[in-house]
Amino acid sequence: MKEASYLALTQESLPPRLAGIPAVTERLGRAHDTWRVKEVGDGNLNLVFIVESSEGSLIVKQALPYVRLVGDSWPLPLYRAFYEFNALMRQAQRDPGAVPEVFHFDEDQALIVMEFLSPHVILRNKLIAGEKVAGLGAFCGRHCARMAFRGSELSMKSADKKTDVGVFAGNIEIPAITESLVFTDPYFDAEMNTHTAGLDPLVAKLRSDVALKCAVQSMLVKFSSNTETMLHGDLHSGSIMATETDIRIIDPEFAQYGPMGFDIGTLTANYLMAYFSQPGHRGADLERYQDWILSVITDSFEAFDAEFRRLWATERSGMLYPKSLFEDQGHGSEPACNAMLEAIWQDAVQFCGIEMHRRCLSLAHNADFETIKDAQTRAGLEARNLEMGATLILSADKVKTSQALCALARTFNGKDVL
């Protein structure tokens, strides 16, 4: 990438700068001075523009050379847009229709022009507002299974997969954010950490728990060295957009090769945080809505399991567990599939607990809790979430099923931890 030519877009500069791109004018028309542009980026890193004309609409996402949330004191390479673009291409191929369509990529300007999803809303906002999305668990579970399986050497040719691991290995700084913010900073008094007043005794307890730190670091070993499949890498309810019935996965700029349980584990954590935060958002219908969130979790794992087994039976063409070793010898491979799913589940449970911790203890908290204005209420709800997170990290082997996970959530939801 020629960093020298990079220039961050503004609402004013965007139309003339994109007016020469056929993929853009095909959708918006040539009268760029009539385009309406709005910067809507509310994430932690990038610029995001909605561009509309009388002929159509699209999204322009551009990386900034620093972390937007923090400012230019934290530089971040523009090359991350290259990995996001490549991840979107692979996601579209491995789970058609699950991600926005990409119309154009400019590597020098670190920008991606893509489909404007409308009237889709960020799922996190729906969960805070108490809105349901039909088929959410089934869609997300199926998507995670397709990405896990089709990005691995269960399906891919070994040479292709290893080459792709090499491609994504060039993305160093983005995984480094996760390695510190998610796996390390929550467990000591790191510079950028914040937590809600009132949580001090619980935070001190967690930070003095050596077994907990060891367990989390052992998951960091997996996260940083196990290259099972291409991950989304930051799959939370802010990385999903939905209407009542349509769902898309967005924002894979944290894509890397990693363990299969990571995405579904972190997504589950975000459902659990939505669950625990609900008393801060509603009174009426509270229990019924919380039950629905838990049903999304069980639906997700059921769909993951079913889709992974289907792909195991129909698309197992890679180097791992080859048919030549099992079916062709008259040996069933179901025990191997069971064992693999069991290992994914155990990893997912621990990654889930870690994500539950980092969103309350490190940088980049989530709106589920942050929008609860009363700090005492918020602390009480976050405490339930933190305690359950620790249980998941330390006792994952005792949580055998998604039903057991949800039963545990109900138990912590009834506890006054503080």
Q: Which is nearer to Mg ion, 48 or 138 (CB)?
A: 48
Q: What residues between 34 and 73 interact with Mg ion by CB under 5 A?
A: 43
| Nearest distance in Å: CB 70, ligand SR1 | 6
* Under rule CB under 6 A, residue 364 binds ligand SR1: yes
Residue 356 is inside which H or E element, if any? helix 334-361
Binding partner of residue 177 among ligand SR1, Mg ion, none, CB under 5 to 8 Å per kind?
ligand SR1
Q: What's 416's DSSP letter?
A: -
| Nearest distance in Å: CB 238, ligand SR1 | 7
Q: Which is nearer to ligand SR1, 46 or 278 (CB)?
A: 46
Query: Which tokens hold the place of 138?
Result: 């089934």
CB 69 within 8 A of CB 45: yes
* Under rule CB under 6 A, residue 69 binds ligand SR1: yes
Instruction: Tell me how far apart the alpha carbons of residues 210 and 188 are, in angstroms, rounded to a whole number.
Output: 11
Instruction: Tell me how far apart the alpha carbons of residues 174 and 83 are, in angstroms, rounded to a whole number.
Output: 10
Instruction: List the one residue out of 289, 286, 394, 304 whose CA is nearest residue 344.
Output: 304
Contacts of 54 (CB under 8 A, 6+ apart): 29, 34
Q: Which is nearer to ligand SR1, 45 or 399 (CB)?
A: 45
* Under rule CB under 6 A, residue 234 binds ligand SR1: yes
Q: Which is nearer to Mg ion, 174 or 303 (CB)?
A: 174
* Under rule CB under 6 A, residue 67 binds ligand SR1: yes
| Nearest distance in Å: CB 305, ligand SR1 | 26
What Å distances lie between residue 115 and 15, 20, 89, 103, 257, CA to CA?
17, 18, 13, 7, 26
Determine which residue in the list 181, 267, 361, 399 makes contact with ligand SR1, applying CB under 6 A: 181
Residue-by-residue DSSP string for 210-240: HHHHHHHHHHHHHHHH--SEEE-S--SGGGE
Report the chain's C-alpha Rg in angstroms: 22
Q: Which stretch binds ligand SR1 (CB under 6 A): 174-182, 298-306, 318-326, 342-350?
A: 174-182
* Under rule CB under 5 A, residue 251 binds Mg ion: yes
Kindly tell me the sign of the dihedral angle through the C-alpha atoms of 325, 326, 327, 329: positive
| Nearest distance in Å: CB 390, ligand SR1 | 20
Binding partner of residue 181 among ligand SR1, Mg ion, none, CB under 5 to 8 Å per kind?
ligand SR1
Q: What residues between 126 and 155 interact with ligand SR1 by CB under 6 A?
A: none
What Å distances lie between residue 177 and 41, 48, 184, 271, CA to CA?
19, 21, 10, 22
Binding partner of residue 294 among ligand SR1, Mg ion, none, CB under 5 to 8 Å per kind?
none
Query: Which tokens hold the place of 17?
Result: 């700068």
Q: Which stretch binds ligand SR1 (CB under 6 A): 1-9, 52-60, 173-181, 403-411?
A: 173-181
Site map 26..55 versus ligand SR1, x via CB under 6 A: -----------------xxx----------
Binding partner of residue 320 among ligand SR1, Mg ion, none, CB under 5 to 8 Å per kind?
none
What long-range pairs does 69-78 form, CB within 8 A, spacing at least 24? 69/44, 69/45, 69/363, 69/364, 70/192, 70/363, 76/45, 76/173, 76/174, 77/173, 78/1, 78/3, 78/6, 78/110
Binding partner of residue 69 among ligand SR1, Mg ion, none, CB under 5 to 8 Å per kind?
ligand SR1
Q: What residues between 221 and 240 interact with Mg ion by CB under 5 A?
A: 234
* Under rule CB under 6 A, residue 177 binds ligand SR1: yes
Q: Which stretch binds ligand SR1 (CB under 6 A): 55-63, 128-136, 175-183, 318-326?
A: 175-183
Instruction: Tell me how far apart the alpha carbons of residues 150 and 93 are, in angstroms, rounded to a whole number.
Output: 9
Torsion of CA 110, 114, 119, 125, to 10 degrees: -30
Binding positions for ligand SR1, rule: CB under 6 A: 43-45, 67, 69, 177-178, 181, 234, 363-364
